[in-house]
């Protein structure tokens, strides 16, 4: 499995784009989250939305779903196909009614299913999204009363969405065989709705050595060399795990 970050920045970062990712298997490409900068980043990489075989959404914030309207229109009217959309069952209604309906609603297209082949996910159920690409959704705390999910991939790779510090979960994942953790990281405290760098630095060494930092702000250069053994994930670089 390869991963390439379309962006590694926080919701307000301008230098590093939104934290969205492309996952590559032997024959397929999955887009994890599609924020407002996702399609621009793909354009810079010379990639088309038609290269995407499936989409996985973590939660309903613009830096994670703000590019879905354009993606849906391109797929519908340019490429004439309906992409597969994986999203937790609890988010399906709000994605359409609270986010996409205003732009995508037309007389003949009146539902999320008119644009996407919607495949709802369930908490605690491992689902093969693509051949050789299995995902389990974890409900992780972010904004009060706003559902957000992080993902365990192929039992060894954990990708946090936006989540508050949860050392117990990370310890449990590592004990279960997780070797790599891509974790959101707010560089400056307080971490009201995100995990901070200070919190991640408080983790025991056997967890820190698995952590890669993403979803950081534009002050990232000031923190180079100050993150212990945890490296920053770099935008557009392709990693193999």
Domains recognised in the chain with CATH numbers: 2-233 (3.60.15.10)
Instruction: Classify burial at 84, counting beta carbons within 10 Å of its beta carbon; exposed 0-12, middle 13-18, buried 19 or more.
Output: middle
d(CA 87, CA 118): 8
d(CA 180, CA 175): 12
Nearest to 183 by CA among 148, 142, 211, 224: 211
| pLDDT in single tens digits along all 241 residues of the chain | 999 999 999 999 999 999 999 999 999 999 999 999 999 999 999 999 999 999 999 999 999 999 999 999 999 999 999 999 999 999 999 999 999 999 999 999 999 999 999 999 999 999 999 999 999 999 999 999 999 999 999 999 999 999 999 999 999 999 999 999 999 999 999 988 999 999 999 999 999 999 999 999 999 999 999 999 999 999 999 999 9
């Amino acid at each position: 499995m390869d991963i390439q970050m379309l962006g590694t920045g926080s919701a307000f970062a301008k230098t590093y784009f939104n934290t969205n990712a492309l996952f590559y298997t032997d024959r397929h490409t999955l887009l994890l989250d599609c924020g407002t900068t996702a399609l621009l980043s793909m354009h810079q990489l010379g990639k088309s939305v038609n290269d995407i075989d499936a989409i996985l959404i973590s939660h309903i914030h613009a830096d994670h779903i703000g590019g879905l309207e354009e993606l849906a229109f391109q797929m519908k009217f340019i490429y004439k196909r309906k992409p597969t959309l994986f999203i937790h069952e609890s988010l399906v209604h709000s994605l359409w009614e609270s986010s996409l309906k205003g732009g995508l609603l037309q007389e003949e297209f009146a539902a999320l299913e008119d644009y996407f082949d919607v495949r709802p996910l369930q908490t605690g159920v491992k689902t093969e999204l693509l051949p050789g690409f299995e995902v389990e959704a974890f409900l992780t705390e972010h904004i009060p009363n706003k559902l957000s999910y992080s993902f365990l991939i192929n039992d060894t790779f954990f990708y946090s969405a936006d989540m508050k510090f949860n050392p117990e979960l990370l310890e449990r994942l590592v004990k279960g065989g997780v070797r790599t953790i891509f974790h959101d990281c707010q560089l400056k405290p307080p971490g009201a709705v995100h995990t901070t760098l200070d919190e991640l630095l408080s983790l025991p060494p056997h967890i820190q050595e698995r952590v890669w930092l993403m979803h950081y702000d534009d002050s990232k250069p000031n923190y180079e060399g100050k993150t212990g053994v945890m490296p920053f994930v770099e935008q557009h670089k392709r990693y193999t795990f």
